[in-house]
Amino acid sequence: MNDILDQSIAEVGAALRAGKTTAAALHAAAASSHEARAKSFGAYKLWDTEAGQKQARAADAAFEAGIDTGPLQGIPISVKDLYGIPGWPTFAGTPKSWPKSWECEGPVIAALRAQLGVITGKTHTVEFAFGGIGMNPHWGTPRNPWDAERHRAPGGSSSGAGVSLNAGSAMLALGTDTAGSVRIPASMTGNAGLKTSQGRWSIDCIAPLSPSLDTAGILARSVADLAIGFLAIDPLAVEEPRPTEVAGLRLGISDGLLWDDCWPGVAEGVNGALGELEKKGASLLPFPFPEVDEIYPIFQAGGLVAVELYTFVSEALPEWFDLIDPIIVQRMSEASDLPAHEYVRRRRVMDRLGAATSERLREFDVIVCPTVPNTPPALNDIAEVENYRPANLLALRNTGIVNYLGLCALTVPVALDKEGMPVGMQLIARHGQEERLLSIGLALENVLGNGRARLGTPPMVSK
């Protein structure tokens, strides 16, 4: 990876402001990494060198004029192809571009552009963001760079986001998260990822999956970079997240479902990290979590997602039904028969269980569990539907429960599993507690190290 892109956002930002580098040089390095790696990894649906160069020149001109627009000025950022960007087509993982009206600019993109962040391109997503493994039959599936021998899944639905960071073509990646679509690809590619609280960041001009659950989020190579990105984008943040003390942290550990069926090395990797934190003074405390057992059957039954997607496609894009992957059409069709009273019941149960969990969380700093129980599967192993479905459901389980309970969460890389693939540790906090969550994540990162320091370099990047 190019040396300049191997630094943190804070280090690069300082170099830009000191005149030691330029946004144009930074974008050129990102473009070089794209040509060398991101193309072969398949991270991007659209890469626009000319647009990136133009944005970089604008950032440099502002610096030269003494104008500092914010911490993301000149920083290369990849954007999931669900976000509308003026002049850039939106496919949302489907076979053809959506109507021009979906090229609008929502508040999240507006925040990046107002700071003169450099959008490098639009990364691949699962079709309609409806899947946790990362597969896309229309445009291909990005390759997880942690396995040089087999084409493994990168995690979804923000399938190109984590890969764009690994490849060195971006320093921050925008994703979305309805049931884990930021945290799963972050975990599977050895990056950090933040799922914001539902409603905290606007989802205007972002292609919807399930508006009741959809959230915008970010991926980065470290929690430190996440904290900078969060503060730059968030409209409500008033204080910069700063590392808290590890000593005295109350980490809730729940027995049961969140730790069940983990692949070899996953639970062991998370427990190893917890042991290191305990030695530094963190308290590992049992967290009673009966809500998990009640909410999981709703999640297994499709929750609200399939019916809300079916409603959206029927109303906004009815002609797309003939183009969509038959597996997704089947999942939506099954939901079309969901009675209205069952939809309402599910909403009420989710609200009740979320409130109960949030209240109990007041006595803890975060709940901790593996982010993804299974190792990133090889695509050949999940080519058939009967193999894909259980792998997809397991990948989404621990993250999806967080969305269904209305919480926010962070994943940090902590280990490699028995197959040499990254393992993420999920930190779960109450709704609206992102600043506190990131402060805890920074403290943990100071002890455990960031992904690169702890896991090393992906084999396909170090070649």
What pLDDT is stored for residue 146 in this prediction? 98
Residue 334 scores a pLDDT above 80? no
What pLDDT is stored for residue 397 in this prediction? 98
Of the listed ranges 226-240, 257-271, 344-358, the least confidently predicted one is 226-240
- Which domains are assigned to the chain? 6-454 (3.90.1300.10)
* Tens-place pLDDT, residues 16-41: 999 999 999 999 999 999 998 878 99
- 9-17 vs 49-64: helix crossing angle, rounded to 10: 50
Q: Which among 194, 183, 174, 195 is positioned nearest to 72, based on CA atoms? A: 174
Q: Which residues 6+ apart lie within 8 Å of 58 measured at CB?
A: 116
Q: Are 258 and 370 in contact (CB under 8 A)?
A: yes
Q: How far apart are CA 20 and CA 62, in angstroms?
A: 15
* Tens-place pLDDT, residues 204-244: 999 999 999 999 999 999 999 999 999 999 999 878 999 99
Of the listed ranges 307-311, 325-329, 401-405, 444-448, the least confidently predicted one is 325-329
Residue 292 scores a pLDDT above 70? yes
Query: Which candidate in 33, 158, 181, 358 is catalytic?
Result: 181
Longest dimension (CA), the chain: 62
Q: Which residue has the tokens 């690069």?
A: 12
Long-range contacts at 439-442 (CB < 8 A, ≥ 24 apart): 439/241, 439/242, 439/243, 439/244, 440/244, 440/249, 440/365, 440/366, 440/410, 441/192, 441/223, 441/226, 441/227, 441/241, 441/410, 441/412, 442/223, 442/224, 442/227, 442/241, 442/242, 442/243, 442/244
Q: Which among 420, 410, 415 is positioned nearest to 376, based on CA atoms? A: 420
Q: Which among 178, 201, 150, 170 is positioned nearest to 380, based on CA atoms? A: 150
Q: Which residues 6+ apart lie within 8 Å of 319 measured at CB?
A: none
What pLDDT is stored for residue 458 in this prediction? 96
* Tens-place pLDDT, residues 384-427: 989 999 999 999 999 999 999 999 999 999 999 999 999 999 99
Q: How confident is the model at residue 463 (pLDDT cuts 50, 70, 90)?
A: low
Is 157 labeled as catalytic in the residue annotation?
yes
What pLDDT is stored for residue 237 in this prediction? 87
Mean pLDDT calculated for residue range 294-312: 95
Q: Which two tokens stand for residue 385?
A: 């539907």
Residue 117 scores a pLDDT above 90? yes
Q: Are 173 and 155 in contact (CB under 8 A)?
A: no
Q: Which two tokens stand for residue 47?
A: 């890469």
Mean pLDDT calculated for residue range 81-104: 98
Q: Which residues 6+ apart lie within 8 Å of 208 measured at CB?
A: 214, 308, 309, 312
Residue 1 scores a pLDDT above 90? no
Q: Are 167 and 123 in contact (CB under 8 A)?
A: no
Compute CA distances 278 → 187, 203, 380, whole Å: 22, 38, 40
Mean pLDDT calculated for residue range 335-339: 84
Q: How confident is the model at residue 2 (pLDDT cuts 50, 70, 90)?
A: low
Q: How confident is the model at residue 327 (pLDDT cuts 50, 70, 90)?
A: confident
Mean pLDDT, the chain, rounded, equals 96
Q: Which residue has the tokens 């300049």?
A: 4
Q: Which residue has the tokens 């970089």?
A: 56
Q: How far apart are CA 420 and CA 153, in angstroms?
A: 14
CA terminus-to-terminus distance, the chain? 10
Amino acid at 392: N
Query: Which candidate in 80, 164, 210, 439 is catalytic?
Result: 80
Q: How far apart are CA 402 and CA 396, in angstroms?
A: 10
Is 80 labeled as catalytic in the residue annotation?
yes
What pLDDT is stored for residue 39 in this prediction? 81
What pLDDT is stored for residue 336 in this prediction? 77
Query: Which candidate in 33, 78, 157, 169 is catalytic?
Result: 157
* Tens-place pLDDT, residues 128-174: 999 999 999 999 999 999 999 999 999 999 999 999 999 999 999 99
Is 197 labeled as catalytic in the residue annotation?
no
Residue 376 scores a pLDDT above 70? yes
Residue 315 C-alpha from the chain's centroid:
28
* Tens-place pLDDT, residues 180-212: 999 999 999 999 999 999 999 999 999 999 999
* pTM for this predicted structure: 0.98
How many CB atoms within 10 Å of residue 23? 27
What pLDDT is stored for residue 245 in this prediction? 96
